[in-house]
Structures are given as C-alpha cells and as structure tokens.
Amino acid sequence: MRVIKNEQRLGEVDVSHVKIDAKSRDDIPQILRGIQYLYSNEEIHDRLFSALEKAIPSDVDKTNGRPGMSLWKIFVLGILRLNLNCDYDRLQELANQHKTIREMLGHGIFDEGYYYELQTLKDNVCLLTPEVLDEINQIVVNAGYKLLKKKKLPP
C-alpha cells in the first residue's frame, strides 16, 4: 500500500490544486475542502499518514502480491463514508462517478475507465479501525484548533 503516488501522470491534478465548488452548499465539497487542507499542510500530512500506516495489517507483505489501494484513497473514501453516513453502494457510486472525488483520489483524464469494485472498497475502507480513526480524529481536531488560532487541547 502506498500513501500517495510520488509522480503525477499526464492529466492528473495535484490534490492541493483540485478545484472544489466554493458556492456549493452540499456536504461533499465541504468534506473535500477539509481533506484538501489536511493534505496540503505538510506537518498535518506527515502525522496523518503516520497514523494511517497503522491501518496496514502486520501480516501484509507490501512487496509481494497484487497492489492494494493507496492509503490516501482509503483515507478519502473512509472519511467520505463516515461523514456522509453512507453505505458501500453509495460510496462506490461516488468513487466511480463523482468528478471531484475522483480527482481527490488521484485520478486524471486517462483514468476514466478505472472502476472501484464494491468488494475492493469493503476490503480496504474497513482497515480504518476505531483506534486508527480515533488517532486521526485527534490530529484533525488539533489542526482545527490551530487553524482557528485557539488554545491547543491537551493530549
């Protein structure tokens, strides 16, 4: 599992440059803006992916077998699933059909044929255990307080 690709392919947009509709009152763009902020802030990004690496089962050999979903994709899809309170069928529809979400997942114009299978989503998004999500939650809450220039909460 990879955190996120190091090099972009032709037609891909860096996550920090994905255009999100600022006028939309829907919850998806709001969630994506938050995810984009976490990705763009290097300090938060590093702590976030340190926590996400704990989601990789210890018995998984990262150098052998078929490639799994990157931790970034697992994170984005997991956050969407939790915040939208949606089932895996809706998550699959969003991952396969929503342009902005696909850009946030790292897909470009040449990935139009890439399709997320339902079982792949279930197998990967469930790796975000309550313990990993609690750690991510603390990182996000502290980042929010720092962003709002409020007093940092004790650990």
Out of 52-66, 94-108, 132-146, least confident range: 52-66
Mean pLDDT of 90-96: 97
152 in the Ramachandran plot: left (φ > 0), alpha (ψ -120 to 50) or beta?
Answer: beta
Look at residue 78 in the predicted model and tell me its pLDDT.
Answer: 96
Write the pLDDT tens digit of every residue in 6-58: 455 555 678 989 999 999 999 999 999 999 999 999 999 999 999 998 888 77
Helix spans in the chain (H)? 27-40, 42-52, 71-84, 88-97, 99-104, 118-125, 130-147
Look at residue 92 in the predicted model and tell me its pLDDT.
Answer: 97
Helix axes 27-40, 130-147, angle to 10 degrees: 80
Does 1 have pLDDT greater than 60?
Answer: no
From the CA atom positions of the chain, what is the Rg in Å?
16
* pLDDT mean across residues, the chain: 85
Mean pLDDT of 60-66: 60
Cα separation, 79 vs 98, in Å, equals 15
Q: What is the pTM of this model?
A: 0.84
Domain ranges across the chain: 15-58+66-147
Q: State the CB neighbour count (10 A cutoff) for residue 28.
A: 17
Cα separation, 23 vs 38, in Å, equals 21
Out of 52-56, 102-106, 139-143, least confident range: 52-56
